[in-house]
Structure 1
Amino acid sequence: MLADPDLVAHLVATTGLTTAEAERVVEDVVAFHAEPVEAYVRRRHAHLKTYGAKNPEIFAQIAAELADRVVGAPELSERQLRRIVYT
């Protein structure tokens, strides 16, 4: 995916980044937010489990995080989150 030229120009003008660096930043941010919901849920569950969190608090936190994403994911119940993680 090509970075939006207007956004790249704005970053170059306001940050001191080179054009190549600004393009890379935009592409990285877009890729981060393009992660599918299922992949995000599995990744976050594994990460939080690593630090000793229990499933009820993990699923509550993931549900809250999904609601705050730039492009909001659909609202998922705890049961739907469990199915994503364990299937």
Structure 2
Amino acid sequence: MPAPPDAALVARIAASTGLSPAEAARVVEDVVAFHAEPVEDYVRRRHAQMKTYGARNDEIFARIAEELAGRVVAAPGLSERQLRRIVYG
């Protein structure tokens, strides 16, 4: 079972948004879960999403590399080859 969200953060979110403490806690848990996604899962998911819309691999891998660099919980720098290996093995 994951740790409960930080009480001070939940209180701040509740106060600044008008959400109830329970609603604010769910928001915090959702955000933490989003950023806890393993890099490999993120790369595979984003590759599949972009492939669905007809993007080419060179475009996809460049975009994924940019996205990873900008994530709040920064992923390690991955080369295009490493990204390809995550997707194709």
Instruction: Give the TM-score of the pair, scaled to structure 2.
Output: 0.96
- Structure 1 residue runs of 4 or more that deviate by more than 6 Å after TM superposition: none
Residue 28 of structure 2, aligned match among 7, 26, 29: 26
Counterpart AA for 2:4: L
Aligned partners of 1:69, 1:19: CA distance in 2, in Å? Answer: 26
Q: Give 1:1-87 correspondences, 5 Å limit.
A: 1-87=3-89
**CA RMSD after TM alignment:** 0.5
The one-character-per-residue Cα deviations of 1:43-76 (angstroms, maximum 9, x if unpaired) are 0000000000000000000000000000111110
Between the two proteins, what is the percent identity of the paired residues?
74
Aligned partners of 2:74, 2:13: CA distance in 1, in Å? Answer: 25
List runs of 5+ in structure 2 lacking aligned partners.
Answer: none
List runs of 5+ in structure 1 lacking aligned partners.
Answer: none
Instruction: Give the TM-score of the pair, scaled to structure 1.
Output: 0.98
Aligned residues: 87
